[in-house]
């Protein structure tokens, strides 16, 4: 998994790949923001042939919830936000930081928001939790009510900031009136599901500059993925039982479907566009207190450095944190050669 992540991090730095992403956004040649865009979550299933990359996320939940005082993770998290701030031209630490999500107190991971707020405040950063509907622009500043914001820790799932309630944030981001992390470019570069289709096109990857060794790693570690389009829809429907369909700009399990459970009505929606089809790699299974649990693995990574490895344990069609006995579990690596 570390080798897969290293190959993906190398790819994201290649000019040809970055240009392909910018062209898809309709912004070829656009200057992208300084900050990397925060921590990434690389999600894997353990298949018969080894680990298989399922997706990448730009605002992965669970990192701080799984922290232990003795592992130094809280200090590493603060360092990430400091680096993001400095990459945007700031000095020291931001003075005012906003943790942002829709109706944050109703989010399942709201306890993690509170933990981040406490972490920032302990470091001397004034931190608040807010809803984008509370934001407005004043004198070229993004404000939460009458409180000017320097840095937004973005937990929204409108990754491109297209919704009407997010336009103040989008304008402030585009005008560099606030530091936003993660930001739309980071999602487009790493987490848009259409990128998974690029990862299974070795000739393009080679043209962009990946080494033969990196190509081999991705060939073994990334399940074949295709965009659902008019010219392949009929073939994908015939092959659906071995596929998993997910929205290109989706998150979690929202709008995702196993092919063997597809109805014709849902398929018609998928064919309208915006979906990818990925070869199905079943999650592995482990015993649980109330029956067998499915398992996937999440690596939290910043700038190529793995901060934490966790398993997500669940029952049902897709990952969730509501299964009794399920949720996040830290991973301990052992050297089996000893």
DSSP per position, 272-296: TSSEEEEE--PPEEE--TTS-EEEE
Classify residue 13: in a domain, yes or no: no
Same domain, 173 and 215: no
Classify residue 317: in a domain, yes or no: no
Could you tell me which of 66, 41, 77, 62 has the C-alpha nearest to residue 108?
62
List strands edge to edge, sheet with 126-130: 126-130, 96-100, 151-154, 179-181
Classify residue 325: in a domain, yes or no: no
- Domain at 228, CATH number: 3.30.1490
Same domain, 165 and 115: yes
Residue 240 structural domain? 194-279
Same domain, 83 and 172: yes
Residue that terminates a domain, selected from 181, 203, 234: 181
Biggest CA-to-CA distance, the chain: 63
Same domain, 155 and 228: no
Classify residue 221: in a domain, yes or no: yes
Residue that terminates a domain, selected from 181, 208, 224: 181
Long-range contacts of 290-293 (CB under 8 A, 24+ apart): 290/324, 290/325, 291/315, 293/323, 293/325, 293/326
Classify residue 173: in a domain, yes or no: yes
CA angle (160 as vertex; 94, 275 as ends), nearest 5 = 140
Question: Which H or E run contains 192?
Answer: none
Residue that terminates a domain, selected from 181, 210, 239: 181
**Which residues have a Cβ under 8 Å from the Cβ of 21 and sit 6 or more positions away?**
188, 189, 192, 195
pLDDT in tens, 35-51: 999 999 999 999 998 99
> Which pLDDT band holds residue 29 (cuts at 50, 70, 90)?
low
Total-model pTM: 0.94
Same domain, 174 and 214: no
Question: How many structural domains does the chain have?
Answer: 2
Average pLDDT of the segment spanning 234-238: 97
pLDDT in tens, 47-103: 998 999 999 999 999 999 999 888 899 999 999 999 999 999 999 999 999 999 999
Same domain, 172 and 203: no
- Interatomic CA distance for residues 273 and 267, integer angstroms: 11
Same domain, 151 and 209: no
Asked if residues 141 and 149 have their Cβ atoms less than 8 Å apart, the reply is: yes
**Residue 28: predicted pLDDT:** 59
């Amino acid at each position: 998994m570390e080798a897969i992540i290293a190959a993906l991090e190398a790819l994201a730095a290649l000019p040809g790949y970055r240009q392909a992403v910018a062209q898809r956004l309709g912004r070829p040649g656009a200057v992208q923001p300084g900050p990397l865009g925060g921590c990434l979550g690389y999600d894997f299933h353990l298949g018969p042939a080894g680990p298989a990359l399922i997706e990448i996320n730009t605002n992965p939940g669970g990192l701080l919830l799984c922290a232990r005082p003795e592992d130094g993770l809280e200090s590493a998290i603060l360092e990430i936000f400091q680096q993001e701030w400095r990459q945007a031209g700031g000095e020291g630490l931001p003075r005012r930081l906003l943790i942002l999500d829709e109706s944050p107190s109703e989010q399942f991971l709201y306890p993690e928001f509170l933990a981040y707020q406490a972490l920032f405040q302990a470091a001397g950063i004034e931190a608040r939790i807010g809803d984008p509907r509370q934001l407005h622009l004043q004198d070229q500043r993004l404000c939460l009510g009458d409180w000017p914001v320097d840095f937004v820790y973005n937990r929204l799932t409108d990754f491109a900031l297209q919704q009407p309630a997010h336009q103040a944030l989008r304008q402030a981001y585009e005008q560099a009136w606030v530091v936003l992390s993660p930001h739309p470019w980071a999602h487009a570069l790493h987490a848009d599901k259409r990128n998974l289709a690029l990862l299974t096109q070795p000739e393009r990857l080679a043209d962009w500059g990946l080494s033969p060794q990196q190509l081999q790693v991705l060939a073994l570690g990334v399940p074949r993925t295709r965009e659902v389009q008019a010219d392949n829809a009929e073939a994908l429907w015939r092959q659906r039982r071995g596929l998993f369909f997910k929205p290109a700009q989706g998150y979690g399990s929202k709008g995702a479907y196993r092919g063997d459970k597809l109805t014709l009505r849902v398929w018609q929606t998928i064919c309208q566009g915006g979906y990818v089809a990925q070869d199905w790699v079943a999650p592995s299974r482990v015993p649980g207190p109330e029956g067998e649990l499915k398992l996937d693995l999440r690596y939290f990574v910043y700038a190529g450095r793995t901060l934490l490895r966790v398993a997500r344990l669940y029952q049902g069609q897709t990952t969730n944190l509501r299964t009794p006995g399920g949720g996040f579990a830290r991973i301990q690596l052992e050297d089996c050669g000893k």
